[in-house]
Amino acid sequence: MRLSFLVLQSYKFYLLNKRFFSNCFLSSTINCEYSCHVGGYKILYKTWYWPVFVLRLVYIWFMFGLCLVYVWFMFGLCLVYVWFMFGLCLVFVWFMSGFINYKISYKSYKSYFCYQNRLILRRRA
């Protein structure tokens, strides 16, 4: 007798949940409040709606993942920028050192050539 009463009550609860399922989903709250009239009495009860809770968890994890992706992207962008500037500085230093070496070698070549010319001119005289 007691078992059949519990089954009947749970079936009524199932029917009420089924009836107000869309309202609960649209309210998007974990504790959904129902009011219904059964036998002339207004019954007000709250129930825990787990899909909304799961959806909120999924949303929180998604936003957390999105923030992580954004942070990693910005970190990677900064690393790329730093490496690019470092490479640019290296290329500039390499170019300037080559240019300076060229100037030095040209000057030394010029002085060497002048020195040889002086020797040649001295030998002829």
**66 against 43, higher pLDDT:** 66
Domain ranges of the chain: 2-48
pLDDT at 27 over 60: no
Q: What CA–CA distance (Å, rounded) separates 53 from 122?
A: 102
- Write out the chain in H/E/C secondary structure: CHHHHHHHHHHHHHHHHHHCHHHHHHHCCCEEEEEEEECCEEEEEEEECHHHHHHHHHHHHHHHHHHHHHHHHHHHHHHHHHHHHHHHHHHHHHHHHHHHHHHHHHHHHHHHHHHHHHHHHHHHC
Structure tokens that stand for 64 in this block: 């957390």
pLDDT digits (tens, 9 = 90+) for 107-124: 555 555 565 555 555 555
More confident of the two residues 68 and 122: 68
Cα angle for residues 56, 61, 63 (degrees, 5° grid): 95
Give the mean pLDDT of 78-99.
83
